Amino acid sequence: MVRIGLGMYDLLAGKRRLGPTRWHDRDALLRLQPDLQPEGLRGGFTFWDGQMDDHALGLWAAEQVRGMGARLHEDAAVERVDQDGGVWVGGQRLAHDRVVNVAGPWARALLDASGIASRYTLDLVRGSHLVLDRPCPAGVLGEIRDERRIAFALPWKGRTLVGTTEVRQGLDATPVCSDEERDYILAFHNRLMRTPATVRDISSSFAGLRPLLRSADDPSRASREYAIETRGRLVSVFGGKWTTARALGEQVAGRIVAAA
């Protein structure tokens, strides 16, 4: 049996309104995504929140704070921070009332470079993706066999985006999709879809590092929670996801307001 969730992503293009999660039997599901493997398929859910454009959302969020009067300094590497509101850029210390360290995978490394102790350690877990040179009429999220992981094949700029993986790595190397991950993602795709994909169908690949709070030996079991740590005028964030970003932002703002 294959259990599948199937999302209709026209929502992002404004063509659909948010609808209820619905169960579809096998035949209805195959009408929505005819390329699904029919063997063992019992049905699946359609739902509405399986995909977003993180780059566009990040730019939108930056515009909001710019509109509120914040000055954004882009492409400015922070060398170190201190607990008294100092941020070191280009060898100069810039003074601030409060500093929030949201360096994601680099949050702990920035503290280490600054000589600031922390009770939190991050596991950096690479996730790789393949872009297949074929259209995807409807996105599919499915369980990986014998693993308690969900992977996906989604419409992506006229092509198909398939992912993802969980492989520990350090900050010393650029995250790239390994050959093993490529084969793992293709195998997932080919169990899920009727038309097999091979290496020749791959138009590009990309990978990123998830900053996960260290809590387990198995990266797929590592906590997706986040932690906030305050040291003097410095607030550091460890971990976190887009899905919890708003709640996290409110908590960080709450700490800053409470300390003012």
Ligand X SMILES: Cc1cc2nc3c(=O)[nH]c(=O)nc-3n(C[C@H](O)[C@H](O)[C@H](O)COP(=O)(O)OP(=O)(O)OC[C@H]3O[C@@H](n4cnc5c(N)ncnc54)[C@H](O)[C@@H]3O)c2cc1C
Q: Which residues contact ligand X (rule: CB under 6 A)?
A: 54, 77-78, 102-106, 110, 127, 164, 208-211, 240-243
DSSP 74: T
**Shortest Cβ 71–ligand X spacing (Å):** 15
**Shortest Cβ 26–ligand X spacing (Å):** 27
**Shortest Cβ 10–ligand X spacing (Å):** 20
In the complex with ligand X, the residue whose CB is nearer, 41 or 151, is 151
Q: Which two tokens stand for residue 174?
A: 């650029």
**Shortest Cβ 102–ligand X spacing (Å):** 5
In the complex with ligand X, the residue whose CB is nearer, 195 or 220, is 220
DSSP 199: G
**Shortest Cβ 76–ligand X spacing (Å):** 6
The alpha carbons of the chain give a radius of gyration, in whole angstroms, of 21
As a whole number of angstroms, the distance between CA 6 and CA 3 comes to 10
DSSP 233: T
Q: Which two tokens stand for residue 25?
A: 């039997």
Report whether 94 contacts 76 (CB < 8 A): no
**Shortest Cβ 41–ligand X spacing (Å):** 24
DSSP 36: B
In the complex with ligand X, the residue whose CB is nearer, 21 or 243, is 243
In the complex with ligand X, the residue whose CB is nearer, 168 or 194, is 168
Residue 215: name the closest of 121, 126, 147 by CA: 121
**Shortest Cβ 188–ligand X spacing (Å):** 15
User: 156-179 burial, b for 16+ CB within 10 Å, e for fewer?
Assistant: beebbbbbbbbbebeeeeebebbe
How buried is residue 86: exposed, middle or buried, by Cβ count under 10 Å (0-12/13-18/19+)?
middle
- DSSP for 81-144? E-TTSEEEETTEEEE-S-EEE--GGGHHHHHHHTT---S--EEEEEEEEEEESS--SSEEEEEP
